Chains A and B, each alone.
Chain A
Amino acid sequence: MRLVVDLNRCQGYAQCAFLAPDVFAMHGEEALLYDPQADDSRRDEIARAVAACPVQAIFAEGLDGTDGTPAPAQEATREQ
């Protein structure tokens, strides 16, 4: 599942690295590295990390209560 962290917002609280260590890892004191396309089997951990982030900096597709996960293949695509 795809995710992105707004690193302007991230303040290095490391809750995500604690709750989903296979997806999020601290790199040094406060920099965060994450897997931008984590395995679907990590969904529950990612959901916990998203919920626990004190500054709500994590956005994971299909987890935020919008209209779900759109598969790009379903859209009209004209590959050149």
Chain B
Amino acid sequence: MSSDKYLDQLKREGRIVVVGASLAGLRGAETLRAEGFTGSLTMIGDEPYEPYDRPPLSKQVLLGRATADHTALPRRRAIDAEWRLGVAAAGLDMAARRVRLADGDEVEYDRLLIATGVRARPWPQEDEAELDGVFVLRTRDDAVALERALAQSPRRVLVIGAGFTGSEIASACRERGLSVTVAERGAAPLVGALGGVVGEVAAKMQREAGVDLRTGVMVTALEGDSSGHVRSARLSDGSSVETDVVIVSLGATRNTEWLLGSGLGAGPRGIACDAGCRAFDVRGIVTDDIYVAGDVARSPHALFGYQFLSLEHWGNAVAQAETAAHNMLSESVDRRPHMWVPAFWSSQFGVNIKSVGVPSMGTEILIAQGSREERRFTGVYGYQGRVIGAVTFDQTRWLPFYEQLIETTAPFPPPFPTVDRRPEGNRPLPADFPDPSVPSHGPTVTLSGYSPADRRMTFTPARH
């Protein structure tokens, strides 16, 4: 059968299974229907809810401006799918093209889209994690439970980890008038994603908002009372914090365990795929029928030296799912590469923080516009003489300009004067990112090439 005939048949009566019923899964499914797929579509999701939007959970929901059950994503079109919600995928048989579900059911596919995303990394001490009053924030249920705890006016909230989520939670707590301590292993909040020069500004914002920010410390133990409710936390500097609510914000873990042993190139760093979103198997050979999108994917990006990027970004989930769905139904010459320029936002302590490119690749930063003192500035990141990323604090309207510099691999530092250049922008500073070999919860971009820890095969040279 010629391949276009096969594609016609696939589009008409094929079976496509989407594992992961969140933002990427939904937008991928909608794109499949938009591109004329009329076959059967199955959506598998481990949460019992239809796809919902996560960013509001740490913002509107914690501020009491919206409730967690009011975050369902608007639909671009009807997708006419069979929904298998509340049941996780538990295994994959690549040869038989079958997904096994946690309840024992099996679903066959002709094409598979994997968008299983990430989950919050739990507190490592299991007995301490189970104390009442200890939370993570990733899902709708997490947000409901946390919001309820905050509404009971705890004496003090402890946030462990000052990445974006932890900082947003601390910000919401302060707005609710709650006392907050933030414990961060690094030198400042957001250092993993934005470096020390910008982290210093984030630290000042937190302290001025009344956060008891402790940096360079780790929480070594959580202690509960006789009823099993958390009451205090011990810190590595010998101090302790009396607290009723602890939020563990130590980053995320990729949901790939269900693929262990399947033969797909999946591991703790995500599922490797080519620029067209096709998954690699463990042998490094690209598959024809399995596609990946969203937080769980890692794919090579031409703008960043073809490094495999894992992006835990809202916009990436949408763009990559659209590309994966398009490619799934296309001849090879009609496929598109996933070339989305990384971008994200965070709002905290009344400031809008936005970024494009990959700041964490930067070795230098230039405050090209505005001033850090005023919390209104643009920082441009340089790597090997080119612009690689940019961040704005309340200056989002300049961001598209810097995005264009990144896309055109413009020289760093920019050779031209910029509007509102201050004395601090006269020369670049070291960007001051933490040593990447030290584990950190912070960055939501992982520069993930080969990892020796991912080794699954042993090379045995032939004997002569």
Interface on A for B, CB 8 Å cutoff? 1-4, 6-8, 10-12, 25, 27-37, 59-61, 64, 66-67, 69-70, 72, 74-80
A66 pairs with B60, CB closer than 8 A: no
Query: Which residue of chain B has the shortest Cβ distance to A37 in the bound complex?
Result: B70
As a 0/1 sequence over residues 68 to 106 of chain B, the CB contacts with chain A under 8 angstroms (1 = contact) are 001111111111111111110000000000000001000
When distances are taken between beta carbons in the complex, the residues of chain B under 8 Å from A12 are: 352, 396-397
Most buried by A among B48, B78, B350: B78
A28 pairs with B352, CB closer than 8 A: yes
| Interface status of B414 (Cβ within 8 A of chain A) | no
Residue from the list A2, A32, A35 in contact with B73, Cβ < 8 A: A2
Query: Which residue of chain A has the shortest Cβ distance to B72 in the bound complex?
Result: A2
Q: A35-B70, A36-B70 are in contact. Are A80 and B87 (CB under 8 A)?
A: yes
| Interface status of B302 (Cβ within 8 A of chain A) | no
Q: A4-B73, A66-B76, A67-B78 are in contact. Are A11 and B397 (CB under 8 A)?
A: yes
Kindly state the separation between the CA atoms of A44 and B89 in the bound complex, as whole angstroms: 41
When distances are taken between beta carbons in the complex, the residues of chain B under 8 Å from A80 are: 48, 84-87, 103
30 contacts between A and B (CB under 8 A): A2-B75, A6-B315, A8-B344, A8-B345, A12-B397, A25-B65, A27-B347, A28-B351, A29-B350, A29-B376, A30-B394, A31-B350, A31-B351, A32-B347, A33-B60, A33-B347, A34-B60, A36-B53, A36-B71, A59-B74, A61-B74, A66-B77, A69-B75, A76-B82, A76-B83, A77-B82, A77-B83, A78-B84, A78-B85, A79-B85
Q: A7-B354, A59-B74 are in contact. List 10 more A-B contacts (CB 8 A).
A: A3-B74, A12-B396, A27-B347, A27-B350, A28-B350, A30-B394, A70-B77, A70-B78, A75-B83, A78-B83
A78 pairs with B82, CB closer than 8 A: yes
Which residues from 421 to 457 on chain B have a C-beta closer than 8 Å to any C-beta of chain A? none
Number of A-B contacts (CB under 8 A): 115
CB distance from B348 to the nearest CB of A (A): 9
Kindly state the separation between the CA atoms of A67 and B79 in the bound complex, as whole angstroms: 11
Q: A8-B343, A8-B345 are in contact. Are A75 and B79 (CB under 8 A)?
A: yes
As a 0/1 sequence over residues 278 to 320 of chain B, the CB contacts with chain A under 8 angstroms (1 = contact) are 0000000000000000000000000000000000001100000
The contact size tier of chain B is 35 or more
Interface on B for A, CB 8 Å cutoff? 48, 50, 53, 55-56, 59-60, 63, 65-66, 70-87, 103, 314-315, 343-345, 347, 350-352, 354, 376, 394, 396-397
Query: Which residue of chain B has the shortest Cβ distance to A1 in the bound complex?
Result: B74
When distances are taken between beta carbons in the complex, the residues of chain A under 8 Å from B347 are: 27-28, 31-33
CB distance from B374 to the nearest CB of A (A): 11
Kindly state the separation between the CA atoms of A32 and B59 in the bound complex, as whole angstroms: 10
CB distance from A72 to the nearest CB of B (A): 5
Kindly state the separation between the CA atoms of A79 and B50 in the bound complex, as whole angstroms: 10
CB distance from A39 to the nearest CB of B (A): 10
CB distance from B375 to the nearest CB of A (A): 9
Kindly state the separation between the CA atoms of A70 and B73 in the bound complex, as whole angstroms: 12
Residue from the list A4, A25, A59, A75 in contact with B81, Cβ < 8 A: A75
When distances are taken between beta carbons in the complex, the residues of chain A under 8 Å from B314 are: 7-8
A75 pairs with B80, CB closer than 8 A: yes
Q: A36-B56, A72-B50 are in contact. Are A7 and B345 (CB under 8 A)?
A: yes
B65 pairs with A33, CB closer than 8 A: yes
